[in-house]
Structures are given as C-alpha cells and as structure tokens.
Amino acid sequence: MNAINRLLPLAAALVLAGCATALPPLPASVDTPAQFKEQGQAAQATDAAQWTTAPPAEAQSRGTWWKAFGDPVLDELIERSAAGNTDIQQAAARLAQARALLRGAQAQRAPQIGASASAQRGAGADTANGPAPATLLQAGLNLSYEVDLFGRLARAQDAASLDAQSREALLQSTRLLVQAEVAQTYLALRATDTERALMRDTATAYADTLRLTQRRFEAGDVAELEVIRIQTELAATEAEVIALDRARAELEHALAVLLGEPASGFSLAATTTARALPAIPAGVPATVLARRPDVAAAQAALLAAQARVGVAQAAWFPRVSLTGAAGHASPELGELFQWSARSWGVGALLSLPLFDGGRREAGVQDARAGFDAAAAQYRSQVLNALREVEDQLSALRLLREQSLAQGRAVSAAQRASAISETRWRNGLVSQLELLDARRNELLNRRQAQRVEAARQQATVRLIRALGGGWDAERGRG
C-alpha cells in the first residue's frame, strides 16, 4: 500500500503533463482583400453590372452550373461522366478507405471482447515414476479496454475524421474538375466544328472562283498563272480543313475518356449552333475560399496533421489497460463446462517505455514536419485559388474587349472582300488583290471565332476557380 501511495504523485504529474502538452498553433491564413482587383476595374467599364456579390456558399446550389450554357448535349455528357469517369471512381474509393480508417480509429476506443480456447499437455503432478503427463483444457471470454488518460486515442480518431472530411472535399473537387474538363473539351470540339464550317465555306468559295477563272482562261481573258494561284489557295484551304478534322477527332477521343467510355465507340455529330455565354457572379474572395472544395480539403488535412502531433506527443506517456477473463478450465473435456471448472481474473496494466533509441522523439519530429508541410500546402492552395480567379476575371474582361475590336476588323474585312470581288469581276483590279482581301477576311473571321472560343474556355475556368455552384438561371447571359 505504501508503494502505491508513493506512485500516486508520479501518476498525477504525468496526467497533468499530458493535459498541458500544447499542440502547434495553426498558421495565420492569407489576408483576403475586400474584393478582387478585376472587380474594381470592371466597375469602371460598361459591363460593371456583370460583377455582382455572390451569396455565401451555404445558401447556394452547388449543382448544375453547366446548364447556363443552354446545351442539352453538354448536360447529357456531364451526367454520363458522373457515372463513368475513372478519376471520380478513384476519389470515391479513397473516401471509402478514409471512412473505414475512421471506423477503425473509433473501434480502438471501445472495449475489445474475444473468445479463446486452448488445449495443453505437459508435466503434471509428481509420482513415484516422476511427473505424470497431464492435459489442461480451457475456454472463455477475454475483455480488454485502454483507458485514454492522455487523449492519444481521441486525437487519433479526430485525425481520422478530418482525413475523411478531406477526402470528401477532394471527391467534390474531382467532380468539379471532371465537369469542367468535359465542358472545356466539348466547347473546344464545338469551336472546331464552327471553324471547320468556316473553312469549308471558304473552300467552296475558292472552288467557285476557280471554275470562273478556268472559263476565263479558256476564253483567253486571263493568264494561266491566275488559275494556278486559285488552285493553290483552294488546296491550302482543303489542307486546313483536314487538319481541323484531325483536331476534332482527338477532342472526341479525349471526351470519351472523360466519360469513361472507349474512344472507338464514341462519336458526336457536328453542329455549329451558338451557345449562350453566361455571366458569372464573382462574389468576394472570402466567399470563394469558403466555396472551393480543394481549399476545404487542404484545411481539413492541416487540422488532421495538427491532431497527429498530439498523437505522437502522447506516446511519451504511460498506457493504462484494463483486462478481464472468464471461462472454464478442466483436464477432462466432459467436465470443461461444469460449474466447478469455472475460472476468472481481472487486472490492470500500466506500461511506459523508458528507452526506445529515440523512436518517440522521431515520431514527434515527423508529425511536426507533416504539420508544417500541411500548413504550407494550405497557404499555397489559398493563394492559388485567389490567383486563378483573378486570372480568369482579367481574361474575360480583356477577351470581351478583344472580341469587340475583332468584330470591327471582321466587318471591315468583309466589306473590303466584297468590294474587291466586284472590282475583280469588272476587271478593275488584279486577282492578287482579290486573293489578298479574301485571305484577310478569312484570317479575321477565324481569329474572331478563336476569341469567342477563348471566352467560353475562360468562363468554364472561372466557374472552376470559384468552386462552382451559383444560380445558373440568373447567371445566364
């Protein structure tokens, strides 16, 4: 009893030390500005009404943002990708693993009950001829429970729970990434369809001009050189059409992979139908950080790393386990479960490693290094989130200005081409002037189409940078 009394102050000191162990403080987050830089510039432009304040993420629908483009084919493709995309399936499997580990951590805090049976034969009681062989049969139940005095098991459970939250956020992030990639690939394919139609129309115009030039050559009105020039332009345009066919095929194959389908059995009919370009409410930086699932995943990973520091620190303190056993023991199988053969026992075990070669200290250092890495990753995720939004806001603003300027260039080029063709047909200008005017028109029309495609791509990238999820009907423009 005196020995126990002498150990009580030591045990109390260890308990107090365990409770006083401090976890590393969370790093200061990135200071978010009141608004995005591009919003301030847009407020001075004619389209200032485009930049509205988005409501908090909790009040928003996080669903079908892609419907703002008004394309039923795109809607169907994204629904198919949700079921078949392999990246989403992998992220869902990792979430299931994290939840299984959480259940395992929770089970560590519950009593452990097991059944056991054994048969042992060995030396028994001494006789005149020496020890006589004896058999001992045992069967019973065992109970063990670890008393979590220093919070090691609780912190391990917290870390596993935060890991599961991080995996869940990463699954949402993967879904958003796949949705954005499907939308971008599909819009790029449709932009290729439009450019192909433009090039084919140009090739048809060159073919008509070639037939007219050949008739004039046969009549002796023009030289053979003019026929050869038109043939050269027609062949070059047809080569561009073939190059666009190849690019479209590759986009179609990429889309099939995103849907989780074989490229050999996937195809989309070509169309040049125009698509709505939605206006996206950018909101404020703090709202974006609350909405993005990858930022939420990085935050949960940081908190999990902090909890693991506590788990590593708790390894310095003793473990207290309660054990119990009840059952029967008998040398005869027929008498094993008789009341007289019952046996039981209870006990408590306190263990404290005194020397481990630095293993526990290394564990603490490893956990702290993991925490520092998670803190840096979290700050990096926040900074990149803000940068991505600023990138796409500036891209949309400048692309809109570029589209207006390019539209003026297309109008002027079309007018110049029409005048040159009229003058050429009347014999007032050479064929070189007509070909130059047509090349200039084609160049400007293709550039205008590419600017429009870039606006669509920037819109999807902005949605992804904002974390998706806003009122698609209200945002359609």
Residue 344 lies in a domain: no
pLDDT at 330: 62
Contact partners, residue 357, CB within 8 Å, separation at least 6? none
For residues 98 and 294, give the distance between their C-alpha atoms in angstroms, rounded to a whole number. Answer: 17
The pLDDT-based confidence of 282 (bands split at 50, 70, 90) is: low
pLDDT in tens, 307-348: 888 888 888 888 777 777 776 666 666 665 666 666 777 777
Within-domain flag for 420: yes
Over range 126-149, report the average pLDDT. 70
Helix (H) or strand (E) holding 203: helix 152-218
Q: Which H, E and C letters describe 114-127, residue by residue?
A: EEEEEEEEEEEEEE
- Would you put residue 28 in left (φ > 0), alpha (ψ -120 to 50) or beta? beta
* Residue 271: CB atoms within 10 Å: 12
Range of the structural domain that residue 73 is part of: 30-109+151-319+358-475
DSSP state at residue 90: H
For the whole model, what pTM was predicted?
A: 0.79
Cα separation, 183 vs 276, whole angstroms: 13
pLDDT band for 131, please (50, 70, 90 cuts). Answer: low
Q: Is the pLDDT of residue 460 over 80?
A: yes
Confidence label for 425 from pLDDT (cuts 50, 70 and 90): confident
Taking alpha carbons only, the member of 206, 266, 284 closest to residue 239 is: 206
Choose the weakest-confidence range: 214-218, 233-237, 447-451. 214-218
365-385: burial string, b at 16+ Cβ within 10 Å, e else:
eebbebbeebbeebbebbeeb
Domain count, the chain: 1
- CATH number of the domain that 447 lies in? 1.20.1600.10
Amino acid 124: pLDDT: 58
pLDDT digits (tens, 9 = 90+) for 343-398: 777 777 777 777 878 888 898 899 899 999 999 999 998 888 888 888 988 999 99
Q: Long-range contacts of range 6-10, CB-CB < 8 Å, 24 or more positions apart?
A: none
Say which residue, 122 or 422, is predicted with more confidence. Answer: 422
Q: What is the pLDDT of residue 447?
A: 94
Neighbours of 43 (CB within 10 A): 12
Burial (CB count within 10 angstroms: exposed 0-12, middle 13-18, buried 19+), residue 294: buried
Residue 303 lies in a domain: yes
Q: Considering the domain boundaries, does residue 325 fall inside one?
A: no
Question: Are 343 and 326 spatial neighbours (Cβ–Cβ below 8 Å)?
Answer: yes
The predicted pLDDT at position 444 comes to: 92
Strand order across the beta sheet in which 130-147 lies: 112-127, 130-147, 319-330, 342-351
Query: For residue 468, what pLDDT band results from cuts at 50, 70 and 90?
Result: confident
| pLDDT tens sequence across 100-122 | 988 888 888 788 888 877 777 76
179 inside domain: yes
Residue 224 phi/psi, 5° resolution?
-65, -25
Burial 90-114 (b: 16+ CB within 10 A, else e): ebeebbeebbebbeebeeeeeeeee
3-state secondary structure of 460: helix
Helix spans in 260-358 (H): 285-291, 293-314
What is the enclosing helix (H) or strand (E) of 278? Answer: none
Q: With a cut of 90, say whether residue 193 has pLDDT above it.
A: yes
- One-letter amino acid at 287 equals T
Long-range contacts of 41-50, Cβ-Cβ distance < 8 Å, separation of 24 or more: 41/397, 42/393, 42/397, 45/397, 47/400, 50/279, 50/477
**Residue 313, number of CB atoms within 10 A of its CB:** 23
Within 8 A by CB and 6+ apart from 434, the residues are 209, 417, 420, 421, 423, 424
Residue at 76 is within a domain: yes
- Neighbouring C-beta atoms of residue 272, cutoff 10 Å: 12
Instruction: Say if 367 falls within a structural domain.
Output: yes
d(CA 473, CA 475) in angstroms, rounded, equals 5
User: How many of the other CB atoms lie within 10 Å of CB of 440?
Assistant: 17
Average pLDDT over residues 138-163: 81
Residue 241 neighbours by CB under 8 Å, 6+ apart: 196, 199, 200, 203
What does residue 401 show for φ and ψ, rounded to 5 degrees? -65, -40
